[in-house]
Structures are given as C-alpha cells and as structure tokens.
Chain A
C-alpha cells in the first residue's frame, strides 16, 4: 500500500519557528555578545581571555574529576539497587521511586547545610574532603540515574533473564555483570550523561562546601567579566553537546556492531 505523505500545516511551521526562536535566540544572542569584547568589531578576545586563565582549566578539571567520581559511585549504588527492586522488591517500587525523587523536593542549599551540619565534626569530620561533595552530587543526580536504570530494566525481562542465567549455573554477581549490566549500557550512558551535565553546571553545593568547581568559576567570571561570562556559557554549552555526541556515538557504535540484516 502506498504511503500517504501529509504536508505539514501552516500552524506546524508557526510553532516550529516559535520553538526555534525560543530555544536558539538566547544562545545566538549570547554568542554574538561573547564576540564583541573589542569595540566595533567581532573578535575571539573573550575566548582568548578565558583560555588564558588557569582558573578555567583548574575548575574544569576539578568538576570533570568530580563528575567522573559521581558517575562511578552513582552507577555502583543505583544500578544494583534498581535491579534488586525489579527482581525481588516489586511492591517497594513506588516507595523507591518516591525516595529517588526527593532531591527534586529538597533544595540543594538544604542538602548542603545538612551535609555541613552532619559531617562537620568527629566522628564524621568529612567536610574538608571532596568525597562529601561527590556524595552530595550523587544525591542530586539520583533521580536521573535511577530513572535511566529503571527505564533500561523495564525494557528487558529482568526476572526471566536472571533465572535463565541462574539455571545455567551463573552466580548472582555473574548474572549481574555478564547479563544485566551489558543490557543496560545505553540507559546507564544516558544517566551518566545527565549526571555529568548536572555536576559540570552545579553551583550551590560546590560553592557552600567551598570547592573550586566549574559552577562557582562561571559565577565568579559572570560577576566581573561580562564578555568572558558569555564566552564561558558558550564553551559550557559546547562541552555539554560534545559529551552528548560522544554518548550517541558510543551507543550507535554499539548498536551498529550488532546490526546485520535479520533472516525472516
């Protein structure tokens, strides 16, 4: 049967233009502003200033390290928990989902003060350790990482795959690492990307815990250097896209490696 192709209506174009203006105009304006550091001409001066500032590299490297640590710890904590909930605690799923949404309800500033209050003095004097910041990030990224893992687990028949592996002699750990985890690769990657984006832009926790992260650096630059601040926003945006493309490339590469025309 021939496919009927419908022409998009005029309204569709109107909404598309509104969406494009809403999404891209601020970005284009910021880009334009970032290029006007020299009076009367377009230049990359603001970008040169940013790239010449050691603070940029230091804060970027720090946040990058924190993001990687947060991702690793989040995966380590959240994915087995989500798996266990799917496998053995199905009734507790709504409760666990509610708990994972709490970081949306509790403001970051409350979490920061809570962490400082609880971990400021012995026997839990960790306030000067960057691991406390990572712990805070793990909490902040919990809804995203859990959702991502949960979506991946819903897409596979967790119980049957686990039972199949066990019937073949696999231990719980072998089942998790050889069967479940590889099938969650795409979900975990998307959760990792979201976590990365949150950590790279996070300001409240890192600022209140006094760490030289990328978020406070952007805020600092924004207060004193208008053009450099705009350039930093564009760099940050590009960085985020770069990571997203990297993730897409990884997922597609993995899918392409499996793609052969199926016989029917």
Chain B
C-alpha cells in the first residue's frame, strides 16, 4: 500500500563527465579536433603549397598522380597536392559547415519557436514567410545575394545561413506547437513564468534532439551547397580550395582518378559523422530520463 520507493543512487556526475564516459562521443570529439587542428595548422603540416602546380605532380601523359609516393593522397588535374588542398579546404568547409550551418540553425530555431509558441498573426506571418522561402529556389536566391555583394567566404556563409534555415524553422515550429499545449507549460504559466523563461528554460531543452539531427544533416548539405555556389562562380573563388569545390572540379574524372572525389568526400563524411556522434551522445546525456542507461 505504500508508494513505490525510490531506489537510492549515488549523486550523478555532471553532463561533461557523462559525455566523456561514452566512447563514441570521445571518438567524435577527436575527429572534430583533427579537422579543426588540420584547418588551423594547415600551413605547418601541409607538405605543399595548395596553389602550387607541381611539375612532377602529373604523369608523363598529363594525368593526375594516384595516392602514394611524394603525394600521400595523390594530385589533382593541375598537379596540385590533394592532401594540402584538403587541409586548406578544411578552413572553408568548417566555416561553411559549422558556422553558416550553425547560423541557419539559430535562425530556424528562433523563427520556429516564436511562431510555434505565439501562433496567431505573429506565427502566421513568420510561417508564411518560411513557406515563401521554401518555395523560392534556394540556389537562385543565393546567386542573387552573392551577385549583389562581392563574393567572399563570409558572404557565402551568410547566404547559406539565409537560405538553409527554413527546414529547421518548419520542424521546430511543429514541435513547439505541440510542446506549448503540454500541461507542464500551462503549469509554468499558472506559476507566473514569463514568456522568455517558458521559451528558453522549458521549451528549448525539449527541442535539443531535433536541433541536433538537423544540425548534423545540415553539415553535409551546406558544404555541398557552398561547392555548388563556387561552381556557379558565386562562391569561394578558385583557386581557394574547399572540400566541395574539389569534388566539383574533379567529378567528371571520377572514373579515371577516383581519389580526387573520394578523399574530399570522406572528409565531409568524417566531419558530419563526428558531429553526429557527439550530437547523439549530447542528446542522451542531456535527457534525464535516460540516466543510468549509459
């Protein structure tokens, strides 16, 4: 007849300590550190100048060199060292995949959460604008924006952020509308909590899993969107390398020189995977109902 007793347990360790207990999360963090380290220290560790067209970088027939020998990952069509280009390209791709994507996520979350919580005319205006952005060809918009401003890496990042927030906004909007109907939000309101407190202390934490999923999905799409823009001449200008534009430059030679697409592709995959692993672990660590299952 007694209430079920709560089992005793030791005081839980902090979120960071619990994150560090997960092997996959640590692996993900190491991968991220590797990419960031490579980008920062590119001038120190790159074996060649990424813009240098090496004389011995092409075969006698003029084809790119396969991996091995002096060029660990081979060379591209112009005889440039692929490893060096990927290391320097990490700078561009990190800015795009992490910063621009993060900005897009931030805008999407703010728009979605505001529209979802307030509904009414605020929500209608925000969501109709989102629909409009969704229907508008993103590439066209990006080209327009990039044409107005002089192309530079930062402009490209901004353009990508302004184009990529819409999906996140829609998903966050839908989730927020259902969260806002939950009893614990009503309970918060009856306690006298202000809107800011409800939105950021009580609704936002429940959106973390969704934000993480969209954030990790966004890394590869934004990196490739940057490449598309470069390809169309409105993105990062060649010869500045980025993972995306290395793939685009070389995709037609995929059969003859597969390493030219494989290595930058693997780099994008690695970055997305690393964030995915850390994101998943972070989601579990932050969810108190999963305590003890790690």
Q: Do A and B come from one complex?
A: no
Q: Give the A-binding residues of B (Cβ under 8 A).
A: none
Q: Give the B-binding residues of A (Cβ under 8 A).
A: none
